[in-house]
Amino acid sequence: MSSHINKSSPGEPAAEVSEALQDGLGQPACQAHSGEAPCNALQAQLDSESSEEFEQLERHGLLSEISRRRFIQASSALAASFAFGMPSPAEAQETTQTGPVTLKVNGLPRTLSLDPRTSLLDALRENMNLTGTKKGCDHGQCGACTVLVDGRRVNSCLTLAFAAEGAEITTIEGLAKTSDPKTIEDLSSVQAAFLIEDGYQCGYCTPGQIISATAAIAEHQKGELSIVSWQSGQHDRPELTDEEIRERMSGNICRCGAYPNIVAAVRAAAKGPRA
């Protein structure tokens, strides 16, 4: 359930909301997505969610007069324009306005109602209950949040959820061979290698390490280079040496310092499934 009512600042002039929304910067998401996003269906869904929320809040006596007015203004404006975000700069600071976004994670599409500021990381953890992906620095420096977007590893903390719409997102939860892995055989080769080689200590960075290693191995198999490839004179199908592994995994920090075993796990996984 969206939380745009609760987060609105009480002192804000309600009349500006609908005007501001209609004045939004041109391109509502569903227009830009011509033919893709079922605008009417989403609108109906949002309307029904909104009125449900309204009823619930009223039942519990949680609607103040201001929020009641704001709610009505905001939901009608939403229905009218579908522009999300806060187009009025003066009052933009603390208000929250949500919009629909469909994310396809581990093969399953799900439509969420999110503030445009929401990172893909927060959408996964807070809205989709996929807490395997970890929040470390939240600034693209530690790699704990690494996920695959269309098969390429990225930092989900610096990816806006809205910008990931339409992509195939893979998280640690989607890596195993089965949806409910029971034994090591059910895990991906990289997951299994981390277990066998003891490639972690506290485990917090491990989902990011495993996703990153999965991509690193695939990149190497495609013949992609690292700076170590250039510096070692192997700029045509470089061998995956330990030095290469360290360079290719440098976007993932392990605060416990489990690097030797992480390198061993990547090395083992790259050699393919155990005989």
Is residue 136 classed as helix, strand or coil in its secondary structure?
A: coil
119 lines the binding site for another protein (CB under 8 A): yes
Strand residue runs (E) in the chain: 99-105, 108-114, 146-149, 152-155, 168-170
Task: Report the interhelical angle of 259-270 vs 206-221 (nearest 10°).
Answer: 40
Site for another protein in 196-225 (CB under 8 A): 212, 215-216, 219, 223-225
CB < 8 Å & 24+ apart, contacts of 207-210: 207/132, 207/133, 207/134, 207/144, 207/146, 207/171, 207/172, 208/133, 208/134, 208/136, 208/142, 208/143, 208/144, 208/145, 208/146, 208/252, 209/143, 209/146, 209/249, 209/252, 209/254, 209/262, 210/172, 210/175
Site for another protein in 11-70 (CB under 8 A): 24-29, 32-34
Site for another protein in 162-191 (CB under 8 A): 162-163
Distances (CA, A) of 152 to 113, 156, 170, 188, 215: 25, 11, 9, 17, 7
Q: Which of 10, 11, 35, 233 binds another protein (CB under 8 A)?
A: 233
117 lines the binding site for another protein (CB under 8 A): yes
Least separation, in Å, of the C-beta of 177 and another protein?
24
Least separation, in Å, of the C-beta of 7 and another protein?
10
113 lines the binding site for another protein (CB under 8 A): no
Q: Specify the residue, 167 or 268, whose C-beta has the smaller distance to another protein.
A: 167
86 lines the binding site for another protein (CB under 8 A): yes
Q: Which stretch binds another protein (CB under 8 A): 57-65, 150-158, 168-176, 264-272?
A: 150-158
Q: Specify the residue, 87 or 174, whose C-beta has the smaller distance to another protein.
A: 87
Q: Which residues bind another protein (CB under 8 A)?
A: 24-29, 32-34, 83-87, 89, 92-97, 99, 115-117, 119, 138-140, 143, 146, 152-155, 158-160, 162-163, 212, 215-216, 219, 223-227, 229-233, 235, 246-248, 250-252
